Amino acid sequence: MKEFEFTKHAEDMLQEREIPERWIFDCINNPDRTEWENNETIHYIKAINEFGNRFLRVVVNPLVMPKRIITFFFDKRLKAK
């Protein structure tokens, strides 16, 4: 069984946003930080060097198996130091 699966929305965003899957899994496996939201989702956050150190945020529902990647985006609210 796979550990993660993409929701339909996340699959659509892979195509629309042209964000490589490897960046998403690197963010999940090696985050700069994580945030719990409402005890329902984990937000994995990582600066992506290949994209000007912009911060990728990956939102995951960890309460189901396989865990669901809900969405992901470059978070404009976060700035590199």
pLDDT tens for the chain, residues 1 to 81: 589 999 999 999 999 999 999 999 999 999 999 999 988 999 999 999 999 999 999 999 999 999 999 999 999 888 765
Q: Where are the domains of the chain?
A: 4-74
Q: Tokens 């490897």 correspond to what residue? A: 22
pTM: 0.92
Per-residue pLDDT, 38? 87
Per-residue pLDDT, 2? 84
**74 and 16 Cβ atoms separated by less than 8 Å:** no
Of the candidates 41, 45, 18, the one whose C-alpha atom is nearest the C-alpha of residue 31 is 45
